[in-house]
């Protein structure tokens, strides 16, 4: 069913996120009949635009993206619901005009005073913008209407600043009005972790320390820092990815079955997992965490890539990491003694996000004299992106007169079953927010717990500047030390083809 009537107000409508993700998501939602007739998108930014020039800028982008598959009828209907307003977001006196504009839209379009404010702006603007919205009463809900605010990461840059940011937001809103987006929660394959675990009976009995040896979570990117050198120089790989996206994966993988699909039930289980993760002591950071930075190199497609330190916005002697790997353990009944190895980095060999569950070896007494061509043992791989799917690797008899065992793969690909539906990952999140369903959004406590887990790594790395940067060539799988970390435990990173 379509979402209730509402106005979605985008702060930062002139930016990349609006063009690349938000508008395409609205277009997909409209085409799927999930937006209400009484819907308006109001874009706000400093750029000089009127409705027409703003619309044509967007439609040009959509034309380019979809080519002949562009559903022009759907776009025409959505387009007439898109408006633009030039606004200096940091100027409090401008917000009266915004109020007037919204009241007019309500009267003309029947949007009933329901407002979704989407803050696609730098974090330093979160507080002034929400303060100004609060001052003019736009965050005040009544029994007849709702006011919600979506904010994008980064939610602070460490535990302390995350707590301060949450306190700032709470000055003008209740927690229930705040929808913190982590776009990993919008990915079908991430949501499917819960379905795979809890809607099937065969997997859950194995999902614990009795059967699982260890888990590897890899978010490898082949891209560099693109146009975000200045942001990335401040953030680095750990802050950019670990307390948020990688811990989303860890949370869904490790959680206990929630009592329902209710937002609170799921959040409570994820929070329990995060509480059970043992924070690294400063000594452990030295052995359980590895950082890297890429130098110039050649990507597999032959592209010559320059070193991170030469990127725009990055210091020539930067000590920012573009790769981070961490070994985490959990102090709870299900996972005691099972290491979770997490790694992420830029300019690695391939673009690849996956979870590999390595099962314990079977007692192979029966096959002790058998030639075993076993590469990695029994393993389940959840391919988050690209080539979304699930792969089970196990041993099989190699046909022939002698007994030989080789590893084979059973493979499920989303595309084979469900086709290739274009989606940005934001559709579900925007639709859920309009319906008031916060299941796939982060609450303040989850964000803060994420930072707690990585805080000791942040502190130790800040106190001990890296001596050997850069320490991996672009186009490789990261620094050798990451391999050493897992080898010390008698294991190895899964080789991704
Ligand atoms: C963002 C990070 O949150 O996630 C980027 O800031 C990163 O640095 C991106 O590239 C990865 O997202 P995805 O969906 O491509 O895995």
Helix (H, G, I), strand (E, B) or coil at 186: helix
Ligand 1 atom at minimum distance from 385 CA: 16
Cα 225 to ligand 1 centre (Å): 10
Is 153 flagged in the annotation as binding? yes
Q: Which residues of the chain fall below pLDDT 70?
A: 364-366, 368-370, 372-376, 497
Question: Using an 8 Å Cβ cutoff, are 215 and 338 in contact?
Answer: yes
Question: Using an 8 Å Cβ cutoff, are 166 and 463 in contact?
Answer: no
Ligand 1 atom at minimum distance from 182 CA: 3
Q: Given this model, what pLDDT does residue 497 score?
A: 63
* CA 472 to chain centroid: 25
Q: Given this model, what pLDDT does residue 374 score?
A: 56
Q: What are the contacts of 140-147 at 24+ separation with CB within 8 A?
A: 141/177, 142/113, 144/112, 144/113, 145/112, 145/113, 145/114, 145/115, 146/6, 146/114, 146/115, 146/177, 146/436, 147/114, 147/115, 147/117, 147/173, 147/177
Ligand 1 atom at minimum distance from 221 CA: 10
Nearest CA to ligand 1 atom 4: 241
pLDDT in tens, 59-95: 998 998 888 888 899 999 999 999 999 999 999 999 9
> Distance between CA atoms of 214 and 339, rounded to whole angstroms?
5
Sign, CA dihedral 325-267-446-119, equals: positive
Cα 223 to ligand 1 centre (Å): 10
> Distance between CA atoms of 151 and 126, rounded to whole angstroms?
8
Ligand 1 atom at minimum distance from 353 CA: 16
Instruction: Read off the pTM.
Output: 0.92
Cα 359 to ligand 1 centre (Å): 29
**Which of 154, 185, 189, 221 to mutate to test ligand 1, by most ligand atoms within 8 A of the CB atom?**
221
Nearest CA to ligand 1 atom 5: 240
Nearest CA to ligand 1 atom 9: 241
> Distance between CA atoms of 431 and 406, rounded to whole angstroms?
46
Write out residues with Cβ below 6 Å of ligand 1.
153, 183, 221, 240, 353
Q: Given this model, what pLDDT does residue 423 score?
A: 81
Nearest CA to ligand 1 atom 13: 184
Is 187 flagged in the annotation as binding? yes
Ligand 1 atom at minimum distance from 183 CA: 14
Which residues are catalytic, by number?
245
Cα 190 to ligand 1 centre (Å): 14
**Which of 20, 183, 346 to mutate to test ligand 1, by most ligand atoms within 8 A of the CB atom?**
183
Q: Given this model, what pLDDT does residue 206 score?
A: 96
Pairing mode, strands 289-292 and 323-328: antiparallel
Cα 167 to ligand 1 centre (Å): 26
Residue 72, C-beta contacts closer than 8 angstroms, at least 6 positions apart:
none
**Which of 235, 245, 355, 426 to mutate to test ligand 1, by most ligand atoms within 8 A of the CB atom?**
245
Is 183 flagged in the annotation as binding? yes
Helix (H, G, I), strand (E, B) or coil at 126: helix
> Distance between CA atoms of 496 and 91, rounded to whole angstroms?
50
Three-state secondary structure of 122-170? CHHHHHHHHHHHHHCCCCCCECCECEEEEEECCCCCCHHHHHHHHHHHH
Residue 467: asked if its preceding bond is cis (omega within 30°), the reply is no
DSSP letter, residue 67: G
Is 46 flagged in the annotation as binding? yes
Could you give the ipTM of this predicted complex? 0.98
pLDDT in tens, 180-238: 999 999 899 999 999 999 999 999 999 999 999 999 999 999 999 888 898 899 999 99
Cα 11 to ligand 1 centre (Å): 21
């Amino acid at each position: 069913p379509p979402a209730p009537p509402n106005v979605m107000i985008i702060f930062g409508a002139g930016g990349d996120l609006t063009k690349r993700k938000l508008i395409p998501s609205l277009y997909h939602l409209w085409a799927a009949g999930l937006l209400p007739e009484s819907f308006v998108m109001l874009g706000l930014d400093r750029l000089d635009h009127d409705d027409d020039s703003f619309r044509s800028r967007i439609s040009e982008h959509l034309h380019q993206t979809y080519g002949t598959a562009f559903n022009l009828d759907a776009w025409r209907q959505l387009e007439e619901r898109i408006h633009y307003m030039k606004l200096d977001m940091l100027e409090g006196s401008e917000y009266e005009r915004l109020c007037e504009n919204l009241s007019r839209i309500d009267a003309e379009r029947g949007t009933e005073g329901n407002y979704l404010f989407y803050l696609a702006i730098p974090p330093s603007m979160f507080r002034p913008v929400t303060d100004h919205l609060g001052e003019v009463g736009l965050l005040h809900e009544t029994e007849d209407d709702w006011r919600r605010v979506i904010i994008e990461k980064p939610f602070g840059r460490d535990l302390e600043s995350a707590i301060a940011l949450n306190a700032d937001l709470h000055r003008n809103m209740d927690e229930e009005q705040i929808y913190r987006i982590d776009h990993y929660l919008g990915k079908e394959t991430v949501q499917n972790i819960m379905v795979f675990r809890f809607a099937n009976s065969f997997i859950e009995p194995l999902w614990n320390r009795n059967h699982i040896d260890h888990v590897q979570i890899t978010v490898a990117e082949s891209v560099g820092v693109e146009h975000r050198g200045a942001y990335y120089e401040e953030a680095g790989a750990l802050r950019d990815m670990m307390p948020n996206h990688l811990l989303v994966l860890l949370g869904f993988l490790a959680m206990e079955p929630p009592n329902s699909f209710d937002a609170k039930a799921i959040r409570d289980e994820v929070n329990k997992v995060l509480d059970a993760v043992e924070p690294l002591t400063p000594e452990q950071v030295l052995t359980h965490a590895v950082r890297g930075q890429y130098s110039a190199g050649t990507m597999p497609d032959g592209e010559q890539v320059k070193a991170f330190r030469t990127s725009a916005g990055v210091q020539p002697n930067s000590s920012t990491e573009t790769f981070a790997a961490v070994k985490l353990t959990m102090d709870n009944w299900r996972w005691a003694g099972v290491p979770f190895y997490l790694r992420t980095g830029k300019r690695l060999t391939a673009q690849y996000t996956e979870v590999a569950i390595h099962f314990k070896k079977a007692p192979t007494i029966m096959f002790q004299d058998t030639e075993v061509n076993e590469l990695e043992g029994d393993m389940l791989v959840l391919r988050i992106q690209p080539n979304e799917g699930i792969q089970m690797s196990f041993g099989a008899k190699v046909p022939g007169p002698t007994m030989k065992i080789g590893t084979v793969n059973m493979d499920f690909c989303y595309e084979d079953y469900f086709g290739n539906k274009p989606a940005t990952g934001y559709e579900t999140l925007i639709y859920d927010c309009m319906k008031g369903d916060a299941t796939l959004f982060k609450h303040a406590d989850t964000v803060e717990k994420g930072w707690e887990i990585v805080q000791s790594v942040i502190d130790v790395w800040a106190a001990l500047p890296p001596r050997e940067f850069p320490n991996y060539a672009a186009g490789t799988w990261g620094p050798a030390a990451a391999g050493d970390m897992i080898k010390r435990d008698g294991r190895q990173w899964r080789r991704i083809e």
